[in-house]
Chain A
Amino acid sequence: MKNREQRDLFPGALELMILRTLKRQPLHGYALAQHIKRTSNDLLQIEEGSLYPALQRLLKEELVKAEWGISSTNRRVRIYKLTAKGVKHLEREVSRFETMLDGITRVLAPSAS
């Protein structure tokens, strides 16, 4: 069995991508999975299923909320929306991620001087 860390890019990456995607527009699970897959150019080989535990964690922390609704294809779906708390959390996480990425990029740069 692969563990969660291996499935994820890094701990919390999936949550970050979900929040970012939901900030643009509220989506239901399937659409969310397809969107993340598409926009990341299938770079992230995530199993679609792994989305759900992540969504549950976000629900529990009240960063997103969910409501049953009807999708464009006329099916009963649960649509996820970012909460105010989620927006703030996302901003904080993104800036932290950028700082980290910046650091990593500097270290990985071929010629430092």
Chain B
Amino acid sequence: MMWLKRLFSRRRLYGDLSEEIREHLEEKIEELVAGGMSRKEAAAAARREFGNVTLVEEDSREVWQWPSIESLIADVRYGLRMLRKSPGFTAAAVLTLALGIGANTAIFSYFNAWIIKPLPYPQADRLMVFVSHETKKGWTRNSVTSTADFVDFQKQNTSFEQTTAWAGWNFNLTGDGPPAVVEGGRVSWNYFETLGAKPMLGRTFIPDEDRAGAEHVAVLSQGLWQSRFASDPRIAGRNITIGGESYTVVGVMPGTFQFPLMGIANLWTPLALTDKERTDRGRSWFSAFGRLKPDVTLEQAGAESAAIFARLESQFPQTNTLLTLLVSSMTDEIGKEEGTTQVMISFAIVGLILLIACANVANLMLARATGRTKEFAVRGALGATRSRLARQLLTESLLLFFVGGVAGMFFGLWGIRWIESQIPGHIRGYLVNYGHVDLDITTLAFTLGITLLCGLVFGLAPAFENSRLDVNRTLKEASGQASGSKRGARLRRIFVAAEIALAVVVLISTTLLVKSFLISVRSSPGYNPANVMVAQLALPKTKYAQEWRLRNFSEDVLARIQALPQVVSFGAASSVPYGGFGQGVEVEAVGKPAPQPGERLGARFTAVSTNYFSAMQIGLVKGRLFNSADEQGNSPSVIINQTFARQFWPDEDPIGQKLQFGERRTVRTIVGVVRDIKMYYLRERPERQMYVPLAQFPSGTLGFVVRTAANSAAMPTAIRDAIWAVDRDQPVSSVEPLEMLMVIQDAGNRVMTKLMVFFGALAMFLGVIGIYGVMAHLVSQRTHEIGIRTALGASPGQVMGMVIGQGMKLALIGVALGVLSALGVTRPLATVLYQVAPNDPLTFIAVPIVFAGVAAVACCIPARRAMRVDPLVALRYE
């Protein structure tokens, strides 16, 4: 407890010391006086020989202190006092830092949650996703090559502990409440086990249940269990009705369980492949993943998969030519869904913004330091060492950064919440932890880390600058208008030029991203989505086994929709844009050489009602649309899109050509060509698409589109009632405006764009503030000089020109540097840009011009002040 005693006895200790030194000096003086000196002379001599009393006392006391901590506390207290004394400076610096650090905190927390953190499964790094790959054209698809291929792969591979398959599925749930479409999946029995997920109630599936014809079983999510089954504790064993059939609930998965590749899931049933499906090499409709054995690497598993598929290729050349199955880490695959690239780009941009903010604050500190040269000169004269002064300044800047960092943390927290609020519920299922991101320890450590690092790096410059001043010269300057060292001024100019260069880089990058967003939003999707309502449903196979039932259902619903008020036009299709249920078929042109195995081409296949094209306002390019001539039993007709026509008949008229498609090799005659439409994304590339009459191809999956005169709030209910009037047990997924579906799908780009607008504006604001600050400071320092110039006959215009010229020189150097670096820096943006080149000339010309213009305005304000300098007032300081 020695240190404790010391702590309390310190006051006495210090008192002893002072007394002792006083006595020492007295003794000396007395001796010298006895030797014949006058008392005054003796006192001076004694002090001279003793040295600096204050310093000796300070040094002696320091022995008893924990020097680092105690002088730190003293420095911090002093620093806080200094910050309080100049509230304007403090507020500007803290705000700048809070914006810079806050933006970094917010983006980093997403970077951390989506890129750094492992997936929420035990030993998630062992989980691998299987990706189909076509080796010639190079396309990949997140599903297996075919059902039979996967069954073979499962049997033959030795790399995986478990492999498991899944397919996203919409279930029609009836009974226990109104009919509902529940999103979920059909999964292999070991799906949950492979992920390492445990049920909160009951059990998951067993192998016997994953067979065709086995008893129907289902697993519920906690959410569905609570909302629909009132958290029934005896849910396991209870029967529920899915698609008109009875299923026994075996277990409930906790709300924390999630599989981002599947999206939102509330209900699971076994995959239960039929024997026919197990031997089907033509189609694939599910995806798969597996857990690697502990001693097997990804490369080994990939090599084994390649070997298995090479065997399959030679065994089944008809179906498997050029096809293989790649092994890819699940973390990477989920990362792609989450927009890893976008997070990385944002992270890079906020990094630049932080640099700009720091350069700004460093400049503010340098400017303020020049006003404080006197203070430091006095402290230097009183015996403060250079390192002591530098430490003091460094403490002050660290303090400033720390306060900025704390403010930034709150700003960052707000930013995290804002980003989260921008993610629509439907998309969240695809994001790890449902897109919920929090300020965790890693993020806090990152924030603290960058705060201190920036504080150190950018605090060192002013600290070093100020501690090296010449005490004598500064004190001699009568006016106290000590113009900081030339080095300091040069440093500030370098900071400003660099800052502007960085701001230009950020502004060019963000402009490119925003421009590409605007282009994608303004590009026509090929139809008019305004005031169109979409209702989707899937008819159960058991109840609608016969084609006439399917046909009657869609015709009855359409007739009832037609009778609704305010309906302008309407139609139905087996799948609609931004909906589910997409289908594809293999196509072949009749009369052209048959394609080689592996060269077969596919097309999107949609069955549409005759009024669908006019309801959606999809433009006709050639030929005719479907009409009453395309009824059931009439001549088989087909309509294709522009891309299809261009690729199959580049130099011929597609009208009248014959097309063979599907497993049944149906032959149909092309009667029309329509415009390409966007099916899933605004930025998608057009794909081959073919349409057949719904009357000839009745579909179990239906999307009804209804265009109304105005946006009507009652319409969704009216459409749902129209459907339920035909079949009151038929669940309807959701009735929503098509425009909304498009916005939801584009949510990621929307958030990104809003962020980019904010970051771009922030960078420009900080850059301009930077140049304004430097020029304003320069003018205030040169008041005297400007006064002389004016007195000697310089016109106000000349003075103003001089200041603006100087400022613009800096600005233009910065802008030029920025443009040059942007040319290199924007190149990686190419992957996320839509119809905008990374070196888009318009952006590279407009941004520098706008920036230079704004900088000129910023320089005008101090220039006008310089112009108004009254030579008499300025010179009076002499």
A interface residues with partner B (beta carbon < 8 Å): 1, 3-4, 29-30, 33, 47-50, 52-53, 55-57, 59-60, 66, 68, 73, 75-78
Are the C-beta atoms of A75 and B51 separated by less than 8 Å?
Answer: no
A39 to chain B, nearest CB (A): 17
**A75 CB contacts on chain B under 8 angstroms:** 23, 26-27
**Which of A56, A66, A68, A75 has the largest count of B CB atoms less than 10 A from its CB?**
A56
Are the C-beta atoms of B23 and A52 separated by less than 8 Å?
Answer: no
- Among the stretches B52-60, B241-249, B817-825, B863-871, the one at the interface with A is B52-60
A31 to chain B, nearest CB (A): 9
Contact with A along B23-67 (1 / 0, CB 8 A): 110111010000000000000000001111101110111111000
Are the C-beta atoms of B60 and A56 separated by less than 8 Å?
Answer: yes
**A66 CB contacts on chain B under 8 angstroms:** 16
**B30 CB contacts on chain A under 8 angstroms:** 73
**Complex alpha-carbon distance, A57 and B59, angstroms:** 10
**A78 CB contacts on chain B under 8 angstroms:** 16, 20
Are the C-beta atoms of A57 and B24 separated by less than 8 Å?
Answer: no
A57 to chain B, nearest CB (A): 5
**A60 CB contacts on chain B under 8 angstroms:** 63-64
Are the C-beta atoms of A52 and B21 separated by less than 8 Å?
Answer: yes
**B26 CB contacts on chain A under 8 angstroms:** 75
Are the C-beta atoms of A56 and B24 separated by less than 8 Å?
Answer: no
**B51 CB contacts on chain A under 8 angstroms:** 47-50
B35 to chain A, nearest CB (A): 13
Interface residue B17 (Cβ < 8 Å from any Cβ of A) = yes
**A50 CB contacts on chain B under 8 angstroms:** 51, 56
Q: What residue in chain A is nearest B63 (Cβ atoms)?
A: A56
Are the C-beta atoms of A29 and B20 separated by less than 8 Å?
Answer: yes
Contact for A48 among B50, B61, B385, CB less than 8 A: B50
Are the C-beta atoms of B27 and A73 separated by less than 8 Å?
Answer: yes
Are the C-beta atoms of A30 and B385 separated by less than 8 Å?
Answer: no
Are the C-beta atoms of B49 and A57 separated by less than 8 Å?
Answer: no
Interface residue B383 (Cβ < 8 Å from any Cβ of A) = yes
Are the C-beta atoms of A56 and B23 separated by less than 8 Å?
Answer: no
Are the C-beta atoms of A49 and B50 separated by less than 8 Å?
Answer: yes
Are the C-beta atoms of B24 and A29 separated by less than 8 Å?
Answer: yes
B432 to chain A, nearest CB (A): 56
A42 to chain B, nearest CB (A): 11
**Which of A3, A52, A57 has the largest count of B CB atoms less than 10 A from its CB?**
A52
**A47 CB contacts on chain B under 8 angstroms:** 49-51
B18 to chain A, nearest CB (A): 10
**B62 CB contacts on chain A under 8 angstroms:** 53
Are the C-beta atoms of A49 and B53 separated by less than 8 Å?
Answer: yes
**Complex alpha-carbon distance, A33 and B27, angstroms:** 12
Contact with A along B374-399 (1 / 0, CB 8 A): 00000000010110000000000000
A92 to chain B, nearest CB (A): 21
Q: 6 shortest A-B CB distances, which residue pairs?
A: A47-B51, A49-B51, A49-B56, A56-B63, A53-B59, A56-B60
Are the C-beta atoms of B28 and A30 separated by less than 8 Å?
Answer: yes
Are the C-beta atoms of A77 and B23 separated by less than 8 Å?
Answer: yes
**B59 CB contacts on chain A under 8 angstroms:** 4, 52-53
Selected A-B contacts with CB under 8 Å, 17 pairs: A1-B385, A3-B385, A4-B59, A29-B20, A29-B24, A30-B28, A47-B49, A47-B51, A48-B50, A49-B52, A50-B56, A52-B56, A52-B57, A53-B62, A53-B63, A77-B20, A78-B16
Contact with A along B347-361 (1 / 0, CB 8 A): 000000000000000
B interface residues with partner A (beta carbon < 8 Å): 16-17, 19-21, 23-24, 26-28, 30, 49-53, 55-57, 59-64, 383, 385-386
**B23 CB contacts on chain A under 8 angstroms:** 29-30, 75-77
**B55 CB contacts on chain A under 8 angstroms:** 49
Q: What residue in chain A is nearest B383 (Cβ atoms)?
A: A1
**Complex alpha-carbon distance, A103 and B63, angstroms:** 32
**B50 CB contacts on chain A under 8 angstroms:** 47-49
5 new A-B contacts, CB < 8 A, other than A30-B23, A48-B28, are: A48-B50, A53-B63, A73-B30, A76-B23, A77-B20
Are the C-beta atoms of B20 and A52 separated by less than 8 Å?
Answer: yes
**Complex alpha-carbon distance, A56 and B52, angstroms:** 17
**Which of B26, B28, B30, B63 has the largest count of A CB atoms less than 10 A from its CB?**
B63
**Complex alpha-carbon distance, A111 and B300, angstroms:** 73
**A48 CB contacts on chain B under 8 angstroms:** 24, 28, 49-51
Are the C-beta atoms of A30 and B63 separated by less than 8 Å?
Answer: no
**A49 CB contacts on chain B under 8 angstroms:** 21, 50-53, 55-56
Are the C-beta atoms of A30 and B383 separated by less than 8 Å?
Answer: no
**Complex alpha-carbon distance, A64 and B64, angstroms:** 15
A22 to chain B, nearest CB (A): 15
A67 to chain B, nearest CB (A): 11
**Complex alpha-carbon distance, A101 and B556, angstroms:** 113
Q: A48-B50, A78-B16 are in contact. Are A53 and B27 (CB under 8 A)?
A: no
Are the C-beta atoms of B27 and A30 separated by less than 8 Å?
Answer: yes
A74 to chain B, nearest CB (A): 11
**Complex alpha-carbon distance, A55 and B61, angstroms:** 11
**B56 CB contacts on chain A under 8 angstroms:** 49-50, 52-53
**Complex alpha-carbon distance, A52 and B52, angstroms:** 12
**Complex alpha-carbon distance, A3 and B386, angstroms:** 11
**B64 CB contacts on chain A under 8 angstroms:** 56, 60
**Complex alpha-carbon distance, A63 and B26, angstroms:** 27
**Complex alpha-carbon distance, A14 and B28, angstroms:** 21
**Which of B20, B55, B386 has the largest count of A CB atoms less than 10 A from its CB?**
B20
Q: What residue in chain B is nearest A52 (Cβ atoms)?
A: B60
**Complex alpha-carbon distance, A5 and B524, angstroms:** 79
**A33 CB contacts on chain B under 8 angstroms:** 24
**Complex alpha-carbon distance, A66 and B53, angstroms:** 21
**B386 CB contacts on chain A under 8 angstroms:** 1
Contact for B60 among A4, A53, A73, CB less than 8 A: A53
A48 to chain B, nearest CB (A): 5
Contact for A52 among B17, B383, B385, CB less than 8 A: B17
**B27 CB contacts on chain A under 8 angstroms:** 30, 73, 75
A66 to chain B, nearest CB (A): 8
**Which of A48, A57, A68 has the largest count of B CB atoms less than 10 A from its CB?**
A48
A86 to chain B, nearest CB (A): 16
**B383 CB contacts on chain A under 8 angstroms:** 1
Q: What residue in chain B is nearest A47 (Cβ atoms)?
A: B51
Q: What residue in chain A is nearest B6 (Cβ atoms)?
A: A60
**Complex alpha-carbon distance, A31 and B52, angstroms:** 19
**Complex alpha-carbon distance, A99 and B386, angstroms:** 37
**A52 CB contacts on chain B under 8 angstroms:** 17, 20-21, 56-57, 59-60
**B49 CB contacts on chain A under 8 angstroms:** 47-48
**Complex alpha-carbon distance, A88 and B707, angstroms:** 102
**Complex alpha-carbon distance, A3 and B63, angstroms:** 16
Q: What residue in chain B is nearest A3 (Cβ atoms)?
A: B385
Are the C-beta atoms of A57 and B63 separated by less than 8 Å?
Answer: yes
**A4 CB contacts on chain B under 8 angstroms:** 59
Q: What residue in chain A is nearest B58 (Cβ atoms)?
A: A53
Contact for A56 among B17, B19, B28, B53, CB less than 8 A: B17
Are the C-beta atoms of B24 and A30 separated by less than 8 Å?
Answer: yes
**Complex alpha-carbon distance, A94 and B710, angstroms:** 102
